[in-house]
Chains A and B, each alone.
Chain A
Amino acid sequence: MCSEGSVISIGRRRFIHSQLLLGSCLFAGPAALVNAQQAANIDAEGRLSKFFNLSRKLLSPLPLNTRLDKRVAVRMLAALNAEYPHFPQQLDVFPDDPGGRDRHSELARLIVASWYTGVVGQQLVTFERAIMYRLVSDVLPVPSYCIGRPGDWASPPQIRFGGG
C-alpha cells in the first residue's frame, strides 16, 4: 500500500494508464492514430478526473479529497474497467452532475459499493481506505490496523459521526 509521501513507479503508472485506456480505443478513429498515444493519455486523465469527481459527488458529504483517495481512485477505476467491459462507455455518458435518478442508477450504485467495500469483483482495491471502515472509524479500528491503546475498548464508545 502506498503511503502519502511515496511515488508510484514509472512502470506502475504506465500499467495504470494502459488500464484506463481500455475502451477508449473505441472512440479514437483512424485520423487520431498519429497522436494516438498523446490523445489516449489525455483521455485516460480525463476519464480518471471524471471518475474521481463523480465519486466525490456520489459520496458527498463524505470527504474524498486526499492524495491517497486519488491513488485509490486510480486503482478502483482500473479494476472497474477490467471487471465490467461496458464501464468506460457508461462512465463517459454519465452526467457530470448526477440528479436524483442518476444517483440510484446501476452505475452509481456500483461506484458507491466499490468505494464502500473497497472491492471490485475478485479484486481488492483497498482495505484500509474502504469507506465502510472510515465511516465507523470514530469507534472501530480497521481489523489488523490498531490505532488505540490497551484497554481503550472498555469505555463506552465516543461517538463523533452520526448514528449509533
Chain B
Amino acid sequence: MAGMEAEFIIVGSGVAGALVANELASAGKSVLMLEAGPRVPRWQTVERFRNQVDKTDFMAPYRSAPWAPHPEYGKFANDYLVFKGSHKFNSQYIRAVGGTTWHWAASCWRFLPNDFKIRSLYGVGRDWPIEYADLAPWYQHAEQELGVWGPDDEELGSPRDRAYPMSPLPLSYNDAQVKQRMNAHNPDWRVVTEPVARNSRPYDDRPTCCGNNNCMPICPIGAMYNGIVHVDKAEANGARLIENAVVNRIVSEGDRIVAVEYRDSLGEAHRIEGKTFILAANGIETPKLMLMSPGRHHPAGVGNRSDMVGRNLMDHPGTGVGFYADKPLWPGRGPQEMTSLIGFRDGPFRAEYAGKKLHLSNMSVVERATREVLGQNLEHDILTLNERIRDRAARYVEFNSFHELLPQPQNRIRPSATEKDASGIPRPEITYSIDDYVKKSAVHTRENYAEIARVMGGSEVTFSDEFAPNNHITGTTIMGESAEDSVVDKDCRTFDHPNLFIAGSSVMPTVGTANVTLTIAALALRLADRLIKEA
C-alpha cells in the first residue's frame, strides 16, 4: 500500500470517525479511514459471548489484536494501561472497526445548556467556547443519524424544536414501577424515560428492538445503534477503510500535517499522505499518538504548544447500590436500561459538588441469583431452589451513577517512557485522581440511594462506594478559546496545525452530567460540515 493517499485521512473508525467519514464521502470527497484493530462481524461477537463462561465479563467477546491492544482486565488481563496517581483509570474501550459503541447501552443525552458554562455559572471547571444553541441543530442531526427514541412528553432540560426521530417503546414493567413509586415519593428526583439510540420501529434498514436484553456486550440484531452502521455507510458511499493499521506517527512539514505512518498486522511500515487529517482514535489513543509525534516545530508533540495534549482527562466516576425490593419487578425484560434520575444534573450546588445522573438497571440477574442460592449450600429440594432463584431474580434492584469530574491538568495520559506494547509502541500511562468535588457528591448520592431503597421497601441494601469507571474518556485534546490553554478551537481544528482536526470525546472541555456519545456525534457532524464547506 505504499504511497496511498486520499484528500481526507481519518485515524479511528468509531462513531466519531465513521460519522465524519460518511458525511465527507457522501459529499463526494476522497476519504481514507485507518483503523488500528480488525474487522469483527456481529455474529462472531454474539457467538463468542454465548460461549463464554463468565457472562459478567462484557469485554471478553472483544479480545484485542496483539498489534492493537485495548485494556483488558480479569481473566484476560493484559496490563495495557499503566496506572499512576491515587485512582486507577481502569477504563475500557474497543480497538476494532466500529469502535467502542459495539458495546454500550445506547444512552443518547444532550448536554444541558448550563453544562456548557459551569465556570461562569458556578466558578468551577471550564466554559465551552460554544453554547447549547450552537450545538442544538447538530444534536438533532445526530439523533437522526443514530436513530434515537425519546419522550416527547417529558421535559429533560435540553430545549428542542423538533420531536425525536422515534417515539419510545413502552418502559419495562420494572422501569415503570420503580419510576412511578420514586416520582410519587419525591418529584424532584425526576425519573424519566431515557433517550436512546434504539429502534422502536424499523429504521434505517435495521429492525425493531425485541428485548434480547443483551445491549451490553452486543445487540444480536442491530436494533441498537453501533458505530459500524456509519462505517458501512461510509464505505458504501465511497470511503476506503484499512483495518489493522496502527498509526504510530503523525508527520508534519512546518505547521502542516503531510502524512501519517502506520504499521500493519505483520509489522510492515506504511505511509499515507493527505490534505486534511482528522484524529478520532478516542480520549486515550488520540493524545498518545500526538505525544508520540514530536517534530522540529513541535518538540512536545503534534498540536501541543499549549502543553495540554493528554491533560484534563475526565470520566464519570460511578457508585452504585443494590437491594431486594418488596415485590417482584423482574429486571431482564426489554432493553438493559430505559430510565434515569435527572433531578441532580444541575443547580447551584454545582459550585460545591458534582452534578450527576442516576440510572436503574434493567439487566437480567438470573445467573447472579442462581449462584447465590446454590452457593448457600442449603438442603433445598428442587422446587424450593427454583422458588428462591426466581424470588431473588425478580426482586433485585440496582442503581448506578455518573458524577461529573472536573478538568484538571494533572489528570493526564502520556506515552509511557518505559512500558511498551507488543508492537514496541509506548503503552498509555495515566495519572488520575478523584477529588472532593466528586467525593462530596458521592456522599449525597449515597443518601439518595438509601432513600430509594426505603421507598422500594428494600432489604439487603448493599452500597458500591468504590468509584467505577464509566468509560466516558474526555478532555485530553481540550477545546477552548485560546491556544495558550487549549488544543483545538471551537471548530475542532488544532490551534497549531491548520489541516489537523480532532473528532471524539477528547475535545470536550467538560464531561457533563450524562453519557457523552450524542455530544461526540453532534460535534463530529458539525466538524464534517465545516470540512465540507472549507474544501
Query: With A and B bound together, what is the CA distance between A112 and B373 in angstroms?
Result: 12
Q: Contacts A144-B220, A146-B210; is A135 near B389 (CB within 8 Å)?
A: yes
Q: Is A140 touching B382 in the complex (CB atoms < 8 A)? A: no
Q: With A139-B333, A143-B214 as given contacts, are A154 and B371 in contact (CB-CB < 8 Å)?
A: no
Query: A115 vs B199: C-alpha distance in the bound complex, in angstroms?
Result: 36
- Measured between C-beta atoms, what is the minimum distance from A113 to chain B in Å? 5
Q: How many residues of B contact A (CB 8 A)?
A: 49
- Chain A interface secondary structure, helix, strand, loop or mixed? loop
Residues on A with beta carbons closer than 8 Å to the beta carbon of B52: 124
Number of interface residues of A (CB under 8 A): 43
CB atoms of A150 and B212 under 8 A apart: no
A150→B214 contact, CB < 8 A: no
* Chain A 33-64 residues near chain B, CB threshold 8 A: 58-62
**B390 & A161 in contact (Cβ 8 Å cutoff):** yes
Q: Which of B53, B172, B333, B383 is in CB contact (< 8 Å) with A61?
A: B383
Check A14 for interface membership: any CB of B closer than 8 A.
Answer: no
Do A162 and B387 touch across chains, with their CB atoms under 8 A apart? yes
Contacting residue for A141 out of B170, B211, B391, CB 8 A:
B211
Is B411 in the interface zone, CB < 8 Å from A?
Answer: no
Contact B210 A136 (CB under 8 A): no
CA distance A161 to B386 in the complex (A): 9
B53 near A162: Cβ-Cβ < 8 Å: no
- A148 beta carbon closer than 8 Å to chain B: yes
- Pick the contact of B173: A109, A135, A153 (CB < 8 A): A153
What is the CB-to-nearest-CB distance from B332 to chain A, in angstroms, rounded to a whole number?
A: 4
B503 CB to closest chain A CB (Å) equals: 31
Interface 0/1 of A112-133, CB less than 8 Å to B: 1100110100111001100011
Residues of B within 8 A of A161 (CB): 386, 390
* Contact A117/B367 with A150-B208, A154-B173 known, Cβ cut-off 8 Å: yes
Contacts of B366 in A (CB 8 A): 132-133, 136, 140
- Which of B43-51, B117-125, B314-322, B468-476 lies at the interface with chain A? B43-51
Q: Which residues of A contact B385 (CB under 8 A)?
A: 112, 116
A11 at the interface (CB under 8 A from B): no
Q: Is A99 an interface residue (CB 8 A)?
A: no
Taking the complex as formed, is B393 at the interface, i.e. its CB lies under 8 A from any CB of chain A?
A: yes
A residues in contact with B6, CB < 8 Å? none
> Which chain B residue has the least Cβ–Cβ distance from A59?
B382
A151-B383 contact given A127-B50, A132-B366, A144-B212, CB 8 Å threshold? no
The answer to whether B49 touches A154 (Cβ under 8 A) is no
A43 to B49, CA, bound (A): 35
- The reply to whether B208 and A104 contact each other, CB–CB distance below 8 Å, is no
Give CA–CA (A84, B490) in the complex, Å: 63
Assess whether A109 is in contact with B377, with CB atoms less than 8 Å apart.
yes
Taking the complex as formed, is B176 at the interface, i.e. its CB lies under 8 A from any CB of chain A? yes
- CB-contact partner of A140 in B176, B332, B379, B386, under 8 A: B332
B163 within 8 A of A: no
Q: Which of A1, A113, A133, A157 contacts B328 (CB 8 A)?
A: A157
Q: Which of A60, A132, A149 has the most CB of B within 10 A?
A: A132
Say yes or no for A29: interface residue by CB 8 A criterion. Answer: no
Q: Check if B374 sits within 8 Å of A151, measured CB to CB.
A: no
* C-alpha gap A153/B386 in the complex (Å): 22
Total contacts A-B at CB 8 Å: 136
Nearest-neighbor residue (CB-CB) of B335 within chain A: A153
Contact A136 B393 (CB under 8 A): yes
> Least Cβ distance of A162 to chain B in Å?
6
Query: Are A157 and B330 in contact, with the CB atoms below 8 A?
Result: yes
A152-164 CB contact bits vs B (8 Å, 1 = yes)?
1111110001111
Q: Give every chain A residue within 8 A of B328 (Cβ-Cβ).
A: 157, 164
* Nearest chain B residue, comparing its CB with the CB of A100: B379
Measured in the bound complex, the distance between the Cα atoms of B374 and A156 in whole Å is 28
- Decide if B416 is an interface residue (CB 8 Å cutoff): no
User: A27 within 8 Å of B by Cβ?
Assistant: no
Q: How far is the CA of A149 from the CA of B207 in the complex (A)?
A: 12
Chain A residue nearest to B371 in the complex (CB): A117
Query: Complex Cα distance A27/B377, Å?
Result: 33
Q: Determine whether B488 belongs to the interface, using a CB cutoff of 8 Å to chain A.
A: no
Given known contacts A104-B379, A144-B46, A144-B50, A150 and B374 CB-to-CB distance under 8 angstroms: no
Q: A120: shortest Cβ distance to chain B, in Å?
A: 9
Contact B394 A164 (CB under 8 A): yes
Residues of A within 8 Å of B386, CB to CB, are 62, 135, 161-163
| B170 contacts A154, C-beta separation under 8 Å | yes
Query: Is residue B213 within 8 Å, beta carbon to beta carbon, of the partner chain?
Result: yes
B212 touches A156 (CB 8 A): no
For residues 48 through 85 of chain B, which have their beta carbon under 8 Å from a beta carbon of chain A?
Answer: 49-53, 55
Given A124-B51, A132-B370, A143-B364, residue A61 in contact with residue B382 (CB < 8 A):
yes
A-contacting residues of B (Cβ < 8 Å)? 46, 49-53, 55, 169-173, 176, 200, 208-214, 218, 220-221, 328, 330, 332-334, 364, 366-367, 369-371, 374, 377, 379, 382-383, 385-391, 393-394
* A residues at B contact (CB < 8 Å): 1, 58-62, 104, 109, 112-113, 116-117, 119, 122-124, 127-128, 132-133, 135-136, 139-141, 143-146, 148-157, 161-164
Pick 30 A–B contacts, CB within 8 A, sort by A: A60-B382, A61-B382, A62-B382, A62-B386, A112-B385, A116-B374, A119-B53, A122-B53, A124-B53, A139-B332, A140-B332, A140-B393, A141-B211, A141-B212, A141-B333, A143-B55, A143-B213, A143-B364, A144-B220, A146-B211, A146-B221, A150-B211, A152-B333, A154-B171, A156-B173, A162-B390, A163-B388, A163-B391, A163-B394, A164-B393
List the 7 closest pairs (A to B, CB-CB), nearest first: A153-B334, A154-B170, A153-B333, A163-B390, A163-B387, A164-B394, A144-B214
